[in-house]
Chain A
Amino acid sequence: MLTQRLIACFDVIDGRVTKAQNFQDNIDVAPAAELAQRLYADQIDEIVFYDITASAQRRQIDLDTVREVAEHVFVPFTVGGGIRDLDDMFLVLKAGAEKISIDSMAVRNPDIIRAGAEAFGNQCIVLSTQVQRVGVRPDLPSGYEVFIDGARTATGLDAIEWVKRGADLGAGEIVVNSIDCDGTAAGYDLDITRAVADAVNVPVIASGGAGTVDHIAAGLTDGGASAAIISSILYSPRLERNVGVHELKVGLADRGVHMRPWVDAAS
C-alpha cells in the first residue's frame, strides 16, 4: 500500500534555509545542505527546495546549492524558484533534482506546464499554487483566489479552475499552499486542500500552517492530501519546540496515517 509522505520544505536565500511567516520576514535557519543531511538521516520522505528570491531578482536558480543538496540526499528532491523555460528545467534536473516546481511562471505562461511534462514526463512537473480565501464571487466560485510573486500579486484566477487546468496541461502533482495559514503553525487550510484533492486525480500536497502532529494528520485525512509539506514544526526558531521527523511519523502512525516504516541502519 502506498504510504503518505512528509515533505520538508526549504525556503532558500543565498544557500541557507530561512523561515517566513505569511510569506514575509524570513529569518535564518541553517545552510541548506547541512539541514538536508540532518533530515535525510532522520528519514524524511522527500525534500522540496524553493529558491525564493530567484524569480524577483530575475536570475537563474542557485544550481550550486541544488547540487550540494542532491549529493547528500537520497530521497526525492524537488526544486523551484525562477524557472522560466525548458532550459532552466534541464539545468535543475542535471544538478540532481527529480522534480521541478513551477508557480508564478506557470500562471504567466501556462504552456510551460505542457512543455515541461512533454519533455520530462508529467511526474516531473509539480504545480505549486499560492491560494487565499477571498470569499465566493461570480468569477471565483471556489472562494479562493490564486496569487503569485510570493503572495503579492492577485491573479483573478479561481483556485479550483486553475489546478484543474494545471492537471489537464500535465502537472503530475499539485501543491496547495495557503497564504492565510503559511507559517502560522495553526493548521492547514483543510477546505481548499480537500476541494483541490476532489477536483484533480493527481496527488495533492498540503502546504502552509502545520504546527502539530494533529494538523499534519488532518491534512492527510480530512484534507485528502497524499503528502504534507512541513517546515516550521521541524526547524522554525519561532516555535518553542521543534519536532523531529521520526517523532512526527510515530505520532501520525498512532493516528492511523500509513507512513513509511523506520529503516534500521543495519538492514
Chain B
Amino acid sequence: MIGVVDYRAGNAPSVMFALARLGIDATLVRTAAELADTDRIILPGVGAAGATIASLAESDLVPALRTRVVDDAVPFLGICIGLQVIFEHSEEGPTGGLGWLPGRVLRFPDTDRVPQIGWNRVELRRPHPLTAGLAPDPYCYFVNSYYAAPSDPDAVLGVTEYSETFCSMVAAGNIAATQFHAEKSGEIGLTILGNFARWDGTEC
C-alpha cells in the first residue's frame, strides 16, 4: 500500500486523485503509526519548505519518515517541496531540511519571473524505472521559486532550464523525487506515478 503523507500545507488530495485514476491503492498518512503500515511513501508538497518541515514536525512524522525511508529503504517519492525537503539546507529560511541527501536548496535569480510556473522540459540523464515508457525529454508542470542542488551528481536524474540548469528529478537508491508536480503533469506524470507503484527501489 502506498502511503501519501497528508499534512496541512500539502496537496495530498491531488495525488490521491491521480493514483485513483490509475487504479492504485493508496492511503493518506497523518501519523507515525500509519506510516509504519505502508510499503511505499509519497511526500507531496506545495508552498514553502519551512512550513512543510514545521507541519511534518508538528505531526511527529520526521523521525518516522527517516526510519521508513533511510533505515528500512522503502521506495520514496517526493514531489515539489517534497523534493526540496529531503536535502540538508535551504536558502528559503533558517529551518534545515530532512537531510537524507547531501545538498542545498537555492532560489532562482530574479533574471526570470519568479516563481517559475508552467510546463518545462525535463532532460533525463539516464534510464530509470520511474521514467520507463516516457518519450525522451518530457514536458512537465513546474511551480517553484527554489530548486535543489544535490552534492552528489549521480543523484541528478533529470535537469531543466530556467535561468540556469537545475535538478528537476532526483534518484538515489530508494529515494526519488520530482521538482515538477507529477500529479499535475498530464499523462506523463501519471506514467511516473504508475511506475512508482511498481518500483522496488533499485536502479534497474
Instruction: Give A contacts to B, CB under 8 Å.
Output: 1-5, 40, 43, 45, 70-72, 74-77, 90, 93-96, 98, 118-124, 172-173, 201-203, 226-227, 260-261, 263-265, 267
Contact = CB atoms under 8 A, between A and B. Distances in A.
Classify the secondary structure of A's interface with B. loop
B13 A123 contact: no
A121 B184 contact: no
Nearest to A44: B186
B198 to A, nearest CB: 18
Contact of A75 (B13, B114, B145, B186): B186
Contact of B141 (A76, A90, A94, A118): A76
B120 A3 contact: yes
Give me the 6 closest cross-chain CB pairs, A-B, nearest first: A121-B47, A267-B135, A260-B119, A123-B143, A96-B13, A123-B115
Interface of B: 8-9, 11, 13-14, 17-18, 20-21, 46-48, 51, 81, 110, 112-121, 133-135, 138-139, 141-145, 161-162, 181, 183-190
Contacts, number: 126
Contacts of B188: 263, 267
Nearest to B116: A2
A237 B123 CA distance: 41
A96 B14 contact: yes
A221 B177 CA distance: 34
A132 to B, nearest CB: 25
B193 to A, nearest CB: 9
Given A96-B14, A98-B181, A121-B48, A74 B21 contact: yes
Contacts of B143: 76, 98, 123, 172
